[in-house]
Chains A and B, each alone.
Chain A
Amino acid sequence: MIFEVFRQERKGQPFQHAGSVAAPDERFAEIYAREQYGRRQESIALWLVPRSAVHEIAEFPDEFEMKYRRVDGYSIKARLREARERAGTLEMAPGGES
């Protein structure tokens, strides 16, 4: 069996994929993972996940160009300037004229 190994370096940090170990069962996988990814105190926790349990998604089509979900979907510069002109606050804005 192949187990994917994820390791956490310090408390509060995310678990990151470190590599994999091949082992006949979970007991051996634990021993191998401890030896290979933890013997120098470089990890404070390990996750062992059978490779067959990993469900990968690698395609993210964007047929409808849903830019309104993201910050790059909004260009407010021109409108903000217009609003400031109308309110007479253009000079007070950070950066002055610009």
Chain B
Amino acid sequence: MDTRTQEFLEYVQSGGQVETTDWMPDEYRARLIKFIEMHGNSELMGVLPERDWILRAPTLQRKLALTAKIQDEVGHAQLIYRVVEDLGKPRSACLDDLVSGKAKFHNVFHYPTRTWGDVGVIAWLVDAAAIVSQKALLKCSYAPYARIMKKICWEESFHILHGRDVILALVTGTDEQFELVQEALDRWWEPLMHFHGNPIPADEDPMYVWRIKSQGNEAARQEFLDGYVPQIRELGLTIPDPALRKDEETGVWRFTEPDWEKLRAVVTGHGPASEERLAFRRLSREDVAWVEQVVLAEAA
């Protein structure tokens, strides 16, 4: 590592922040692009499982709330792709790589949404897991990303409340409604345990080393479990892992080791809904291509 890169590394590790026009090592720029691009992809792909439920939402109020949440997520994708563009990769290239399957998006968006219970579990628990990760980006060494994250975290907090409200309505309803939530939780627990990634030590995680995020994977998972296992259990729901318990002495959550090979397979496009979601994104990109052409032609 050359001296300039070494100095840069020490600067970010001591809490220093970098702006778009500052010098940065190529590796840092490449890692930022890949990470932030995947975040943008996830926001964009993340609306598809929920989109399926706009027409089937049980009340007008729920339809409106779900639509607002979806609008927020697409808005986040736009803000985030803007950050990627300033780092040197155009949005059209990001979308090309997304629909061709070259770029990744988050594991939880590779699964189908079978019931209205799924919508509640996603808005409550998937968004809660996402907030833990996103809070670790508020101090990101790349300042433009950190600033955008502030706005995003602020908007996400309404999503969690909306999700919790959906869940509370169901668990206080009929036995059948309660069962709907339990069944959804049973299916979503594994993806939730995968969500923060394999337990690579923070010091070996390049994202932590460059201070792109301020927390290691396992620390994020522990924070999620600490915050949400009690909230799930107090509703009388059962988490489908008999080994899950908090070690009272160390304060560390123990659980059945997730299948990391499965996570790898899911995020490389072999999840149960990966193909369908990408096909839909491809289709909508082709469908609206004419709009882009008209707008650009008129502006030119």
A residues with a Cβ closer than 8 A to B are 18-22, 24-25, 28, 32, 35-36, 39-40, 56, 58
* Contact of B79 (CB < 8 Å), options: A24, A36, A39, A58: A36
Distance in Å: Cβ of B274 to nearest Cβ of chain A: 29
> Could you give 5 example pairs across A and B, Cβ below 8 Å?
A21-B82, A24-B300, A36-B78, A36-B79, A58-B21
Q: Main secondary structure on chain A at its contact with chain B?
A: mixed
Q: Does B91 contact A (CB under 8 A)?
A: yes
What separation, in Å, do the CA atoms of A40 and B151 have in the docked complex?
A: 11
Cross-chain contact B299 with A28 (CB below 8 angstroms): yes
* Nearest A residue to B78, CB-CB: A36
Shortest beta-carbon distance, A3 to chain B, in Å? 11
| B197 interfacial by beta-carbon distance below 8 Å | no
Q: Which residues of B contact A (CB under 8 A)?
A: 21, 71, 75, 78-79, 82, 85-86, 91, 144, 147-148, 151, 155, 295-296, 298-300
Q: How far is the CB of B138 from chain A (nearest CB, A)?
A: 15
> Given A36-B75, A36-B78, A36-B79, A22–B299 Cβ distance below 8 Å?
no
| Contact A35 B296, CB 8 Å, known A19-B148, A21-B82 | no
B300's closest neighbor in chain A, by CB? Answer: A24
Q: A35 to B75, Cβ gap below 8 A?
A: yes
Residue in contact with A19 in the complex, picked from B71, B147, B155, B295, CB distance below 8 Å = B147
Instruction: State whether B295 touches A28 (Cβ < 8 A).
Output: yes
Cβ 8 A contact of B82, one of A19, A24, A56: A19
Distance, CA A19 to CA B86, complexed state (A): 11
| Minimum Cβ distance to chain A for residue B292 (Å) | 9
Q: Contact check, B75 vs A22: say whether CB atoms are below 8 A apart.
A: no
A58 to B78, CA, bound (A): 28
The answer to whether B75 touches A24 (Cβ under 8 A) is no
Task: Look across to chain B and name the residue whose beta carbon is closest to the beta carbon of A36.
Answer: B75
With a cutoff of 8 Å between Cβ atoms, the chain A residues found around residue B21 in the complex are: 56, 58
Given contacts A19-B82, A28-B299, A39-B71, list 13 more A-B pairs with CB under 8 A: A19-B147, A19-B148, A19-B151, A20-B82, A21-B82, A22-B82, A22-B85, A24-B296, A28-B295, A35-B75, A36-B78, A36-B79, A40-B155
Chain A residues within an 8 Å CB radius of B299: 24-25, 28
**Is A19 a contact of B79 with CB atoms below 8 Å?**
yes
Query: A25 to B21, alpha carbons, bound, how many Å?
Result: 24
- Rounded to whole Å, the gap between the CB of A6 and the closest CB of chain B is 13
A21 to B75, CA, bound (A): 11
Residues in A with CB closer than 8 Å to B300 are 24
A19-B79, A19-B148, A36-B75 known; A24-B85 Cβ under 8 A: no
Which residues from chain B contact A20 at a C-beta distance below 8 Å? 82, 86
Chain A residue at minimum C-beta to C-beta distance from B147: A19
Closest 9 CB pairs of A and B: A24-B299, A25-B299, A24-B296, A36-B75, A24-B295, A20-B82, A19-B148, A19-B79, A22-B82
Which B residue sits closest to A58, measured CB to CB? Answer: B21
Report B-chain residues with C-beta under 8 Å of the C-beta of A39.
Answer: 71
Q: Which of B78, B91, B155 has the most CB of A within 10 A?
A: B78
The minimal Cβ–Cβ distance linking A18 to chain B, given in whole angstroms, is 8
In the complex, A35→B71 CA distance in Å?
Answer: 9
In Å, the complex CA distance between A8 and B101 comes to 40
